[in-house]
Amino acid sequence: TRTPVTVTVTGAAGQIGYALLFRVASGQLLGPDVPVRLRLLEIPQAVKAAEGTAMELDDCAFPLLSGVDIFDDATKAFEGTNVALLVGARPRTKGMERGDLLEANGGIFKPQGEAINAGAADDVKVLVVGNPANTNALIAQSHAPDVPAGRFTAMTRLDHNRALAQLSRKAGVAVSDIRKMTIWGNHSATQYPDLFHAEIGGKSAAEVVGDQSWLENDFIPTVAKRGAAIIEARGASSAASAASAAVDHVHTWVNGTADGDWTSMAVVSDGSYGVPEGLISSFPVTTKDGEWEIVQGLEIDAFSRARIDASVNELAEERDAVRKLGLI
Ligand code: NAX
């Protein structure tokens, strides 16, 4: 039997945590033959709730789950971690300025980056889900100098999946008929879901749809503002779909993208497509053997350029703000 893979989940008692842990423990994150050991991190007030979730995990009798440990201390929670899912974050509350939000999250992601640096396994892979996800990933990464920067990623897979769903409905094709969807930039309302490089039956999805007004005035804003629409309808923010996207992100990273396809991940920029080096921005990426690579050589027209630039400028502003606060 294989040695278990250690997966640390922060914010384990939250709503995404509740949807995520059962999928991880059932083998959907890493595969049906990979045993998993869970380490849960919560703030002290939520440890009891996390214990309740751990009781339910026990009660599922998952054959692949080899244990669950709960911590309120980051250093301990990341000991030996192979996969770190950073879900817990400080949400924006009424009257909170962006600087306050970034500062509060710096107080979470700086020590978590340090703890990953100190104790995680050599092959650690980090996915930041907690918002502002790209900049929280940047903060954690900058406090983990011994971990290759590329191991810190942020989640835009939910946006990617939302784009697939909207396109499949509009074009009347199955989600599985769509290839090469891309989310560019920040996981925020400025993100750019790109239909010019996406393909349906080998043709540009934008051409297949042939409706620039839909693309501009319906598709892009629907994908970008889907989170708010879910809150409006459900009375709570996306949880099961966010957990599902986190599972997809890690599964694809570990198991690879299919030939002729790619996925969207926010990863550290090497300057590709004019995105300043060091920013954690969403790109089209392929994955193989647990490593990601940014897809190169795509032609970017003026329409796409303006939208990518707007989102990347927002990321640069967030980076400058956290730099000013001494968080990176
Ligand atoms: P909840 O408020 O339900 O849960 C968050 C949990 O994190 C709480 O249990 C809290 O006690 C815990 N927590 C807070 N500080 C912590 C710390 N320092 N260490 C460990 N745990 C800590 O939020 P939920 O709905 O689960 O969302 C979690 C995060 O995901 C939020 O930041 C949210 O904005 C973000 N999202 C990101 C998405 C993405 O696509 N990247 C989409 C979904 C979601 O909105």
* pLDDT digit string, tens, across residues 207-245: 999 999 999 999 999 999 999 999 999 999 999 999 999
84 pocket-lining for ligand 1 (C-beta < 6 Å)? no
Task: Render pLDDT for 32-49 as a digit per residue (tens, 0 to 9).
Answer: 999 999 999 999 999 999
For residue 93, how far is its CA from the centre of ligand 1 (angstroms)?
13
Note if 249 is an active site residue.
Answer: no
CA of 241 to the centre of ligand 1 (A): 14
- pLDDT digit string (tens) for 97-154? 888 999 999 999 999 999 999 999 999 999 999 999 999 999 999 999 999 999 999 9
d(CA 139, CA 107): 10
Beta-ladder partners of 41: 10, 71
Name the pTM for this structure: 0.98
Does 10 sit in the ligand 1 pocket, CB within 6 Å?
Answer: yes
Q: Which of 143, 160, 187, 249 is catalytic?
A: 187
pLDDT computed for residue 2 by the predictor: 84
Write out the DSSP string of 76-107: HHTTT-SEEEE-------TT--HHHHHHHHHH
158 C-beta closer than 6 A to ligand 1: yes
C-beta of residue 328 within 8 angstroms of C-beta of residue 138: yes
Biggest CA-to-CA distance, the chain: 55
